[in-house]
Structure formats: structure tokens, C-alpha cells
Amino acid sequence: MTPPPPINMADVARAAGVSIASVSRALNGAPGVSEETRIRIKTLAEDLSYVVSPDASRLSRRATGRIAVVWPGLATWFYAEALSGILSSVGSAAFDVLLYQVMDDQARHRFFQELPARRQVDAVIVIAFPITDDERRRLELLGVTLVVAGGTIADYPHVRIDDAGAAQQAVNHLIQAGHERIGMLNTVGTWDLPFSAPRDRLQGFRTALAEAGLPFSDDLVVDLPWSSGPGPEGMNRLLSIDVPPTAVFAFSDEIAIGALRSLHRAAIPVPQGMSVIGVDDNPMAQMTDLTTVHQPVFEQGFSAGQLAMNILQGEPVQSPYLVLPTQLVVRGTTGPPDTRSPAWLGTRRHRRRPAAPQP
């Protein structure tokens, strides 16, 4: 990967229409620059991801012995498990882990703005969320190693699953059971950025349908906020379209379990009236007898931590891209559609009734 050209004082001076000496004075807090100019130059330098000299900085920086882990602060099984995996590799080695929570675009922006000022980590491990091109450029200028756990960001080293493949495993299972009208409960980030996991799983969903000669319909894909809560709402939306699906592929087990809740309230039997499959295989999937695609999450965190340490310590890395295998786990929530007596005929009455208030 080729880093973008570093931005130096001359660039800032050119952009600000002042001398390099003025830029230097402004950034170092020396006298001889008006407050107004100082603020303007500082803002410009920040926008241009100014660093004194990226190469010099890279060489002169002593190792801090610290790795930053950035997570979105979603209290879901996936994030807790990935974090635990990272700490199990990194934390038990000589590295300390600085944990940063970025719950929204603003916090994410602040993290990447402030990181240069701190310069206190050797590497950043991002758990499954997207960053902007600007933020990437900032990291590259600082010479900070970036590793992604549970997804991809540009061509950075990462440990992930094959999200498209996992979706295909799930949807092929439904197709093989005889389903022809399949819905998807996907997720969108809490960020205004596209992220690889939902994008790739949607792609896998489409590929599986196409390979089976089944049509794809936008109506059957519902985008939900990225949390464990919105499963029931998503399922209700699929139930409210004119011809609902007979099976649903959910982005996560949490979403799938929420979908089951909605089906239970609507008195639609599972799997006869609706098959449901998730992704993750978290402990609650076992408890609710949910068919799902197992992904090794602790292991993704663990390997991402090892990858970051290997890169930092200059050890040989077989490949900076690790894709861990997923596995279909068939339990009780999937089966053939009940074509002789479609559950819909009997249950549409039910779901038109006002639903019981959500707990």
C-alpha cells in the first residue's frame, strides 16, 4: 500500500498564504503571529493532517509498548468476545492496551483528531467498524500500524471471516430446504460510512439467490440499526409486505432472536410458518435453538492481536490477511416451508391484529 504524499510545513504555508516561518511560529506557540492567524494556521494544519515530518517521526519515535483498541461500545456478544480475544493475545504479552470507545461519527472523528497529539501507541486495532479515507491518511502519516479485527478497511492487515461466504452458507441452507422467497434482516452502521460486513453479507445473499435462479427483490431486504434490539421491528416489516417471505436470513443472532420474538407474538410457528437463521453462534443461539452460521470471534480478536504484534516486532508475517472459517450449525428454527397448508393463510389474520405492546 502506497502512503499518500506527506504534508509538510511548506504545504500548510502555501495553503495559508503565509511564510513557512509563520507556520512554524504558529504551531509552536511562538510570538510574532496574531491570534487570528494562529487559529487559522492550526486549523489548516489539522485539516491537512500536518505532522512535523512523517518519516522523521516514524524513525525517531520510541516504541510505546502500547496498542490502542478502538471499539464502537456496542454491548453485543460479538464486540465483547473480539475484545476479549485481543486482550488474550496482546495483554498477555508485553503490550498494554488502551481502549477507546467511538460510539458515533463525532467520537470517531475526535479519536482520529487527537491521536496525533497523543502519539502514545504503536498500533491501532479497530474492531469491526469503518473509518474515512482522511482518518486512514492520518494514521499513515503517523506511521501507526493499523489492523482490523472482524472486517476490512481498505487494504489494511485484517483478520475476518468471509462475510459473503457465510451469507451464502446461510441462504443455501434455506434454499436447500425448499425456500424460494427469502428475506434478509441486514444492518447499517451507527456511522455514515459503508462497512464491509453488511455489504458483503448482502452480496452473499444475492449470489446465493442468483446461483439458485431465484429473483432478488429490494422489498425483502430490511436495513436495521446496528444493535441487538431491532429484530422484532425488522421481522414485523417483513410480515407487513404483501407476500411475506417463508424464511429469513438475519445479520446476527441477536437480530434473529428478535425476529423469533416477533413471530411468537404473531403466533406464526417456527419453522413451519417461517424459517429463521442468524450469524455468530453466540451462547444465546444455543439457548434459543437457533440455526446459525458459526463464526470464531474470540479467535478473530486473538489473531488480530498477534498480527499487530508480529508486524510491530518485525517478525515474518505469512499473510496480513487472515480469513477464518465459518460453519453452518443447524438447529430448530429452520425447515422446509409448509407448502401444503401455508402458515400465512392461517396467520395473516393474526398479524393484522394490533400487536401486543412491546416489553
Q: How far, in Å, CA of 311 to CA of 246, rounded?
A: 47
Residue 91 as a binder of its own copies (CB under 8 A): the answer is yes
Q: At what angle do helices 35-47 and 9-16 cross, to 10 degrees?
A: 120
Residue 92 as a binder of its own copies (CB under 8 A): the answer is yes
Residue 88 as a binder of its own copies (CB under 8 A): the answer is yes
Query: Exactly one of 254, 280, 299, 338 binds its own copies (CB under 8 A); which one?
Result: 254
Q: How far, in Å, CA of 1 to CA of 356, rounded?
A: 54
CB 116 within 8 A of CB 51: yes
Q: Interface with its own copies by CB under 8 A: which range of 20-28, 41-49, 55-63, 224-232?
A: 224-232
Q: At what angle do helices 253-265 and 231-239 cross, to 10 degrees?
A: 50
Residue 357 as a binder of its own copies (CB under 8 A): the answer is no
Q: Which residues lie below 8 Å from residue 235, measured CB to CB, with a gap of 6+?
A: 185, 248, 258, 259, 261, 262, 263
Give the shortest CB-321-to-its own copies separation in angstroms.
25
Q: How far, in Å, CA of 271 to CA of 263, rounded?
A: 10
Query: Exactly one of 150, 189, 198, 232 binds its own copies (CB under 8 A); which one?
Result: 232
Q: Interface with its own copies by CB under 8 A: which range of 45-53, 125-133, 137-145, 286-294?
A: 286-294
Smaller CB separation from its own copies, 99 or 241: 99
Residue 213 as a binder of its own copies (CB under 8 A): the answer is no
Task: Give me the 27-66 binding string for its own copies, x by CB under 8 A, dash otherwise.
Answer: ---------------------------------------x
Q: Residue 171 has which C-alpha cell?
A: 441462504
What radius of gyration, in Å, describes the C-alpha atoms of the chain?
Answer: 25
H/E run at residue 97: strand 96-101
Query: Exactly one of 20, 27, 93, 98 binds its own copies (CB under 8 A); which one?
Result: 98
Give the shortest CB-326-to-its own copies separation in angstroms.
17
Q: Which of 346, 268, 79, 28 is nearest to 190 (CA)?
A: 79
Residue 113 as a binder of its own copies (CB under 8 A): the answer is no
Query: Exactly one of 93, 261, 311, 312 binds its own copies (CB under 8 A); which one?
Result: 261
Tell the residue number behind the cell numbers 402458515, with chain if given: 343
Interface with its own copies (CB under 8 A): 66, 69, 73-77, 79-81, 83-84, 87-88, 91-92, 96-101, 103, 107, 118, 120, 227-229, 231-232, 254, 257-258, 260-261, 264, 283-284, 286-289, 298, 329, 331, 358-359
